[in-house]
Structure 1
Amino acid sequence: MTHPAGPPRGLPIASPSRVRGAALRLVARDRRAVALLLLLNALAAGAGLVGPWLLGRIIDEVKAGGRVATVDQLALAIVAFALVQLLLTRYARLLAHRFGERTSARVREQYVDRALALPASVVERAGAGDLTARGTADVGAVAVTLRDAGPDILIAGVQALFILGAVFLISPLLGACGVLGLLGIGVVVRWYLRRANAAYLAQGAAASGISEVLAATASGARTVEALGLAERRVAASRDAIEWGRVTQMRTLFLRGVLFPVVDFSYSVPVVGVLLIGGALTDRGTVSLGAVVACALYLRQLAQPLDTILMRVEQVQSGAASFARVEGLGEAARPTPPAGAAPVPEGRRVRVAGVRYAYDDGPDVLHGVDLTVRPGERLALVGPSGAGKSTLGRLLAGVDAPRTGKVTVGNVPVADLDPERLRKHVVLVTQEHHVFMGTVRDNLRIAAEPSATDADLVAALSAVGADWFGELPNGLDTEVGVHGHPLDGAAAQQLALARVVLADPHTVILDEATALLDPVTARHTERALAAVLEGRTVIAIAHRLHTAHDADRVGVMENGRLTELGTHDALVASGGAYAALWNSWHGGQRK
């Protein structure tokens, strides 16, 4: 079995300082609830301290031969304060739970906003598995931490401080003895915390890797079957799972060291106080009741410390998950302040001196210059790998050029937030997606809020979606995984109908009708041509009838724009386009 070298590459991870800042902002948004939570826990902790102190009083009273009535009164007081502590703790936990639910809801909403603001190129390179794992397992871990672990640690921390304070008030010497006995816990917790964050981040990355492998295998199942790649995909899954096992064993080892040492350390301060307290009692320095009260306090200290240490593991896991969730903000395109966002002036699209490379590879575009006039229909043609689709992605703002500029209305496309950009430029590829829900739901994703059902039906008609009339419930027909099945052609026409409803002034069609049969594709393109009248259309296609109908044709070769002109002019020039046209036209006649 091969062992992976490490976690897969994915989306960014937020730094500890950024995570702390995000956590403080979440707390600040609910500061009143947090203040009330602290107050209630302080009162509950104070009520809990009365019991051991009263028990010490009872012991001293009995030793001194006091009255039975006094002892009964002290015992009733113990019961009363225990009841007060129960009620205060219950209400504090209810308040903490509500705070956690509100805060986790804010985290989920922020995650969705950031995920939608991610550039498409970032999602493609990181992989859907990483994004899915962060939006499910990591967001869930953060929610549990905010709802349960965080408040529990807060409550336990207040209790522990009050208990230690009570011991020092009774006897500073016994208090110092108790604190010294807790040093073992401090040492092992420090050892654990220095290693836990990295271990849990690795575990989260491994979970993303497993999700990515499974998602890629499931989505490409037909390709895997057709090319006989099953064994390779199984091996890749095995490697990802093995890496997940290695990371989980690491966190398990850390817990295996932490908890046994802590369990042993609980008894050390109690034993120390009893031994030293006994010697002090013999000398008459401390009363027997004080020693018993201190021992009970230190034994009582085990409960909040146990809560803290049991939850600290969850907090470490939650903190690592929060770093992964918050890291999405570093990858998301920042939203300009209101009124500061640039506004395109006009509809002219320009490409000036653009070079582009994928990741750290060589340039795939080399100094491309292009101006597309408003309302023009431009066809980009050329052999596979020439850079047509890459140029289309730059024009749509999916990727940003390494050097040079891509502008719309004299504003760099990279400076426009996705929502504003899509009102100007939309890219439609041969890839499509049918969302779970009704046909109406799928169309309203791109439509204006004021769009009527008649507008939705008109958009379907505009792209030649004749299948709509055969649906059992019209716009209310459920589609998607568990709904009415739509074949590739119908799904692509549904995507094109969204473009009609989005109503951008510039549309980039990257093999948008490639999944349609030739007759349907030609019908759809003609329907689209009528709908897109007056808009700028940049069509990337291998079917050269699109180029024949365009105002101008651009030829891409090896990442360069080598020819640009009308169809007739390029055919007459006898260059690369003429060769493509003659080859395609001759093949069509045969």
Structure 2
Amino acid sequence: MPASASPHSRWFGVPAPAYDPSAPEDVTILPVGSPATVRSYVRALLRRHRRAFVLLVTVNSIAVIASMAGPHLLGGVVDDVAAHERQLHLVRVTVLFAVALVVQTVFTQQVRLRGAMLGEEMLADLREDFLVRSVALPPSVLERAGTGDLLSRITTDIDRLADAMRKAVPQLAVGLVWTVLLVGALCLTAPPLALAVLIALPLLVIGCRWYFRRAPHAYRAEAAGYAAVAAALAETVDAGRTVEAHRLGARRVALSERRVGEWTAWERRTMWLRTVLFPVVNLSNMLIIGGVLLLGGAFVMEGWISVGQLTTGALLAQMLVEPVNMILRWYDELQVAQVSLARLVGVREIEPDSGVGGLTPRGKDVRARQVRFGYLADVDVLRGITLDVTPGSRVALVGPSGAGKSTLGRLLAGIYGPRRGEVTLGGERLSDMRAEDVRRHVALVNQEHHVFVGTLRDNLLLASPKSGDAELWSALAAVGADGWATALADGLDSEVGSGGMTITPAQAQQIALARLVLADPHTLVLDEATSLLDPRAARHLERSLGQVLAGRTVVAIAHRLHTAHDADVIAVVEDGRVSELGSHDDLVAADGPYAALWRSWHG
């Protein structure tokens, strides 16, 4: 639907932004939770903390009831004065007012304390739930979505929810209880004065309905726009050298400026919506107070209520302004928070690993049969590939860039499932197995390696928590990392990563490969696993790995043809198909595509 046709596309005649970042065409994002998912999660979160929530409501009710003692006592004094009573009992009134004030002060402090505690506990639960669910996401989902969207959810959305959880949720509960009790007190004190609330109610309902029909869409678009900004900036920074080498700086700057412009357009819209809502709320407050005074004056003149009742009602109406403003203010904050919450719980809508636990492969052979796969609907990257990888063999995937080598490697590693055909391990389809079970048998190592903040030992134990020091040093030696590791002041206990020793890309790659040795899978898929090492070091590392990984199956996506030279079988991938299959000598003798690549490699 074009932007002009959208029900949200005009603001009182002012056109909305034509671009909707909530569904950017060129940015893949993780799903946003549906209203049903959000409501379900909120109910579950409140159930976990129902005791703290009930306690908050209780102490707030006591504080509100104590705050109403002043208007009630003053109304009584006014009635006594109007009746020409000689004994006004001012001392008793003062003492009662002082006691009520003390009770209100103590319990108001408890409201703030209990509200802050409840907010922090719910925020901690939310962070933990999101982290646990994110870690459990299928690898294929994260690979397709990239890091920008997930990063914006972990940072920006959590930050936006922090204030909502700490303040908005407790304050909204406080405001609702406060409003209900004040309206109830107004009805008990002088029922006719409750009509004043009805005078302002239509204006308040119409204004809020107009605002809250438009605000969620605008806030969702604003949040998605920021995610698009984060993705563009993260990609530019991560690929900084490529951007510089290909002189793409101006294009990337233009993309970032466009993303920022689209985001700020929605930011301006949400601000404009608030400039309409707030005057409506202020006018409603004035109508309530004015209605109480005008109607109350008429009712007093008719003798339907006393002057004291009018005084108490006017004070209660004045007190009603604050909780109503509080509800609307924090409900508006919750509109922002609701969008962030929907983005965070959206990961719950991603289908979990659908594999069946307990499936045990009946062998170690990996087979692909008529595999078709694509990242976009009806656009295949792999087109009918059939490939057998026998146990213990070395298979090299070679071919031009963009031919589908890395995609095929990910299918053989069980990261993706084929659109058609099947990939099996020991007769069991990888798509039917749980990811954690696949990882016990097949491991993927690519050119992206992460060093976690902590000790070198901690980074290695991720792959094998029960390994001893001797096994850790053996794994480091297997990948040629024992030289620099033994030179560290604290050895395996040396801090690495941010705040510790700076790890070079080559050292990070060696740590990743050492984890691979410790994980001990029988089948390995190496995608440019040695790309960050210089050719001589890479050759040495591959020879070391060849000794350590003897007897294991290795599928190597080969960008350096000396890797292919050592392979038992070479599969040439072109345009999503295997065009040649055989040993190095056989393919060179065949004088086909591989022979042309080999001659080009050797000049």
Written as runs of structure 1 = structure 2, the 5 A alignment for 1:267-346 is 267-331=286-350, 334-335=352-353, 341-346=357-362
Aligned with residue 454 of structure 1, among 453, 466, 470:
470
Aligned counterpart in structure 2 of residue 527 of structure 1, from 540, 544, 553: 544
Total equivalences in the alignment? 580
Instruction: For residue 371 of structure 1, give the secondary structure of its aligned residue in structure 2.
Output: strand
Taking the TM superposition and a 5 Å limit, the aligned residue runs for 1:23-172 are 23-68=42-87, 70-172=89-191
Residue 365 of structure 1: aligned partner:
382
Name the counterpart of 1:5: 19
Paired residues of 2:445 and 2:529 also in contact (CA < 8 A): yes
Whole-Å Cα distance in 1 between the matches of residues 323 and 270 of structure 2?
23
Distance in 2 (CA, whole Å) between partners of 1:335 and 1:391 is 20
- Read off the aligned partner of 1:469 and give its amino acid letter: T
- Distance in 2, Cα, partners of 1:326 & 1:163: 36
* TM-score, L = length of structure 1: 0.92
| Aligned-pair CA distance for 1:69 | 5.7
Deviation string 1:284-335 (CA, Å, 9 cap, x unpaired) is: 221111111111111110111111122122111101110111112234x515
Q: Please list, as runs of the form range in 1=range in 2, the aligned pairs for 1:575-590 lying within 5 A after superposition.
A: 576=592, 579-580=595-596, 583=599, 588=602
194-203 or 95-104: bigger deviation: 95-104
* Structure 1: runs of 5 or more not aligned: none
Decide whether the 8 Å contact of 1:349 with 1:372 is kept in 2. Answer: yes
Q: Write out aligned runs for 1:106-505 (5 A).
A: 106-331=125-350, 334-335=352-353, 341-346=357-362, 347-360=364-377, 362-446=379-463, 448-465=464-481, 466-480=483-497, 482-505=499-522
Separation in 2, partners of 1:383, 1:177: 78
Asked whether the equivalents of residues 181 and 268 of structure 1 are also in contact (C-alpha less than 8 Å), the reply is: yes
1:529-548 equivalences under 5 Å are 529-548=546-565
CA separation in 2, counterparts of 1:542 and 1:355? 23
- 1:117–1:418 contact (8 Å) kept in structure 2: no
Note the C-alpha offset of 1:29: 1.2
Identity %: 45
C-alpha displacement at 1:380, in angstroms?
A: 2.2
Structure 1 residues 486 and 163: CA distance shift in structure 2, 3 A = closer
* Whole-angstrom CA distance in 2 between matches of 1:450 and 1:497: 15
Q: What secondary structure, in the 3-state scheme, does the structure 2 residue paired with 1:385 have?
A: coil
Q: CA deviation at 1:488?
A: 3.2
* Preserved CA contact (<8 Å) 2:479 2:544: yes
CA distance in 2, matches of 1:182, 1:149: 23
State the distance in 2 between where 1:578 and 1:196 align. 59
1:72-94, Cα deviation, whole Å (9 max, x unpaired): 21232122123222222322332
Amino acid at match of 2:324: L
Q: Deviations over 1:253-297 (max 9, x none)?
A: 011111122112212122112212212212222111111111111
Q: How big is the shift at 1:23?
A: 0.6
SS in 1 for 2:241: helix
Opposite residue 404 of structure 1, the aligned amino acid is: G
CA separation of 1:374/1:67 partners in 2, compared to 1, >3 Å: closer, same or farther? farther
**SS of 1:426's equivalent?**
strand
CA displacement 1:83-116 (0-9 Å, x = unmatched): 2222223223322221211111111112112222
Q: Residue 138 of structure 2 contacts residue 352 of structure 2 at CA under 8 Å; is this kept in 1? A: no
Quote how far apart the aligned CAs of 1:582 are. 6.1
1:568 CA displacement: 5.2
Rounded Cα–Cα distance in structure 2 between residues aligned with 1:41 and 1:529: 70
Aligned residues of 2:137 and 2:352 also touching (Cα < 8 A): no
Gap change, CA 1:441 and 1:545, over 3 Å in 2: same
TM-score by length of 2: 0.90
Contact 2:148 2:227 in 1 (8 A): yes
Inter-partner Cα distance in structure 1 for 2:175 and 2:486: 64
| Alignment partners' CA distance in 1, 2:102 and 2:354 | 54
- SS, match of residue 118 in structure 1: coil
Mapped contact 1:350–1:371 kept (Cα < 8 A): yes
What's the offset of the Cα at 1:551? Answer: 3.4
Q: How big is the shift at 1:60? A: 0.8
Distance 1:97 1:409, change over 3 A: farther
Name the aligned partner's letter for residue 430 of structure 2: V
Evaluate the alpha carbon distance shift between residue 452 and residue 66 of structure 1 in structure 2; reply closer, same or farther with a 3 A threshold. farther
Q: 1:475-524: CA deviations, max 9, x gaps? A: 23343355434433322222211211222221101222233222212211
Tell me if the contact between 1:375 and 1:536 (Cα under 8 Å) persists in the aligned partners. Answer: yes
Separation (CA, whole Å) in 2 of partners of 1:94 and 1:206: 36
Provide the C-alpha distance between the structure 1 equivalents of 2:246 and 2:336, rounded to a whole number of angstroms: 40
Residue pair 1:49, 1:162 contacting (<8 A) in 2 also: no
Which residue number in structure 2 is paired with residue 19 of structure 1? 38
What SS does the corresponding residue of 1:327 show, helix, strand or coil?
helix
* Contact 1:377-1:537 at 8 Å conserved across structures: yes
Task: Give the AA of the match of 1:492.
Answer: Q
The Cα offsets for residues 557-583 of structure 1, whole Å up to 9 and x where unpaired, read as 3222234445555556x2637625863
Q: Describe the superposition over 1:329-375 as per-residue Cα deviations: whole angstroms up to 9, x where unpaired.
A: 234x51569xx624232333222221011213631211122232333
Q: What is the CA distance between 1:391 and its match in structure 2?
A: 0.5
**CA distance in 1 between partners of 2:598 and 2:301 (Å):** 112
Q: State the secondary structure of the residue aligned to 1:423.
A: helix
Measured in 2, the distance between the counterparts of 1:525 and 1:68 equals: 102
Change (3 A) 1:482 1:88: closer
- The secondary structure found in structure 1 opposite 2:89 is helix
